[in-house]
Chain A
Amino acid sequence: MPEQCSPTPAGKHGTKTEVACEECGLFGFLRLLTVIDPQGERSEPLAGVLSRRTRIPKGETLYRHGQQLQAVYAVKSGAFKSYTLLDTGEEQVTSFHFPGELIGLDALKGNRHQYTVKALEDSSVCQLQFRELERSGVRLAEFREQMIKAMSEKIGEQSRLLLVSSRPSAEERLAAFVLNVSRRLEVRGFPSEAFRLAMSRQDIASYLGLAVETVSRMFKRFQADGLLSVSGKQLRILNRSALQLLAKVRD
């Protein structure tokens, strides 16, 4: 259904910043949300159910812990982090979300969000409005079928993430993390060898359960060993197989 999607604009350096609709986790829903008029022509997806490209500036919150589920979101561009606040007031990062990935599926049970989600850089999201569904005339059975597929994909993603955080050493964990990010970008049609890490070293450390200094030291060591190069947030994988060997994962 590419005719429904606006062309993907190129980013500052000619690199693409938006995920193509076909690569997006919401794409499967598009078919269900599109009304075909008697002439057989497709119209825009049902207004009100799917809202597109809402801009979320860097540092803005998409939703907060405890908030009621209103919509499921797909990252269109940029990146997000989910986190929870510890009693100490410290942030504990629970996950990162990249373009094409769905956010909020875990709130289907209980109808409340368990984590707070914040934009790591200027980002945009497309939203599937749950409230509007019932009265939109969508074939709900097919919709749920699609939802089940989306959840299945998410569950697979989660178990790969568990592999990352279960790596015993700091070195293995960081290597597994870099490969995981690379794979997720590749799946959605982004460059997977050279990319930008939207999250801070602090976020990475919090997510992996490592000290910030350890993360920085490891990046330096990986660089010295010729595994990758980092400059600021730009990362380039130079020796993927060595990284895989280190991470002991296939990711």
Chain B
Amino acid sequence: MAGNVKLSVAGSGGGAVADKRIACQDCTLFQLCLPLGIGEDELALLDEVITARRSLKRGEMLFRGGAPFHAIYAVRSGSLKTYTIMQDGREQVTGFYLPGELVALDAISLGRHPSSAKALESSSICEFSFQDFERMGARVPGLQRQMLRVMSRELLNDELLLLLLGKKSAEERLAAFLLSLAIRFRQRGFSATDYNLSMSRSDIGNYLGLAVETVSRLFTRFQQDGLLRVERRRIRIHDIDRLSLLAGDTALSGSQRIDSAEVPQGER
């Protein structure tokens, strides 16, 4: 049931999921979100847990840092960023969230949100009450197991990025970032080599600790070198092998490494 979910890439325009009341079984992210082999009855229960399906406009806040924690959010389409405000009043980006990913996992243990979350583009999200989730955990053990798998994957992805960011040059850092997005898209059945960067150049610079001009300059250079093609926000990776090499992909362990062999012909 899992695997081989082929979805159109976010931002491919039109036909975006618009129906806010769409039930879980009809959602394109079904396989990513829900435990394998979940039964009909359990699905009905799940529709109880999901308290709201909402759309966010670009720039709209989902929650503010410091606010009490009640719910977890799944990104259905679009993307979000989380950030905190630094001592000097500047914004520090702490993470980006793509379709199929859960936002606010770090708030469960604290009971409040450590950062604020904002939509980077028109997005739709599912909201589920954590209290209901806990109540249901005992009845549907598969739900808890799935949550643990998702959290473990998030930890691995963060570790990978940490590992890649421990690199010296701006070039290596940007390559690492693009590669880590490729891996996350692929994990969710999207194309690893053709995706939309919904975050601005300045968000990317902020997140990676690079000047905006450096980010833009590097994109131009990567393009000149034939590594990728950038058209505004759309990224098409032409040479994932070289990009991996540049990102210090040797540090990646087997399961996370993107092999060019795994990229379907049409995408190369």
Interface residues of A, Cβ cutoff 8 Å to B: 65, 84, 86-88, 92-95, 105-110, 112, 114-115, 140-142, 144-145, 147-156, 158-159, 161-163, 165-168, 172, 206-210, 244-245, 248-250
Contacts and interface: CB of A to CB of B under 8 A. Distances in A.
B208 interface: yes
12 contacts: A94-B166, A105-B155, A110-B156, A145-B137, A152-B110, A153-B109, A154-B155, A156-B110, A158-B159, A159-B94, A159-B95, A209-B167
B86 A250 contact: yes
A88 B163 CA distance: 16
Contacts of A155: 105-106, 151, 154-155, 158
Interface residues of B, number: 52
Contacts of B159: 94-95, 106, 114-115, 158
B268 interface: no
B148 A106 contact: no
Contacts, number: 152
Interface stretch (B8-16, B34-42, B139-147, B193-201): B139-147
A148 B148 contact: yes
- Those 9 A-B pairs whose CB atoms lie nearest each other, nearest first: A152-B108, A109-B152, A156-B106, A108-B152, A168-B209, A87-B250, A144-B144, A209-B166, A151-B151
A167 B207 CA distance: 9
Interface of B: 82, 84, 86-88, 90, 92, 94-95, 105-110, 114-115, 134, 137-138, 141, 144-145, 147-149, 151-156, 158-159, 161-163, 165-168, 207-211, 248, 250-251, 253, 255-256
Contacts of A140: 141
Given A167-B209, A168-B209, A148 B144 contact: yes
A92 B250 CA distance: 10
A84 B251 contact: yes
B94 A248 contact: no
Nearest to B144: A144
A142 B168 CA distance: 44
Given A108-B148, A147-B148, A250-B86, A158 B253 contact: no
